[in-house]
Amino acid sequence: MNPLNHVAIIMDGNGRWGLKHKNSRNAGHKAGINTVEKIIKASIKKKIKYLTLYAFSTENWKRPKKEIKYLFYLLEYFLNKRIEEFHKQNIRLNVIGDKKFSKKLNQLLKFVELKTSQNNKLQVNLALNYGSKSEIINTIKKMIKNKKKINEKKFFQQFINKKYT
């Protein structure tokens, strides 16, 4: 058993690498896909159970529209190309983050998650449209909502106890 259970990688620098080596940010993103494939293979070989790839943050929406379009094209291409192999290799894909994408991409993400949902050799968490600021805000909203529910529950429980005891 491998004591290393979970590896998380922030996929940063592909665009800069592409500019430096191929004079194109998109070439760097494409090269990043090859690196992801190598990382997945190495994770399986090392018997790592969870791999989280931070692939597209909320801050990435500030990039040029052409670059964003290409990034999502690459994601769709990669998933369509690899879904059957993931499934055969017993890899589960789990998408985390705020799933506000095109209808086509959302359907593909749901399909890939559903198709691989019973797999358990390696779980690849793909973090898309995530950000620490939005995570903090969403967590606080949930806490407020849960506190309100708890307070309402306590109120009704007290009301029932006073009225019927």
User: Looking at the DSSP assignment, which residues form a beta bridge with residue 127?
Assistant: 54, 96
β-strands 122-130, 50-57 pairing: parallel
Q: Where are the alpha helices (DSSP H) in the chain?
A: 14-22, 25-45, 65-88, 103-115, 132-164
Contacts of 112 (CB under 8 A, 6+ apart): 79, 83, 86, 93, 95
β-strands 50-57, 6-10 pairing: parallel
Q: Which helix (H) or strand (E) holds 91?
A: strand 91-96
The one catalytic residue in 2, 14, 34, 60 is 60
With b for 16 or more beta-carbon neighbours within 10 A and e for fewer, the 8-27 pattern comes to eeebeebbebbeeeeeebbb
The one catalytic residue in 12, 106, 146, 151 is 12
State yes or no: is 98 an active-site residue: no
Reduced to 3 states, what is the DSSP secondary structure of residue 63?
A: coil
Residues with a catalytic annotation lie at 12, 60
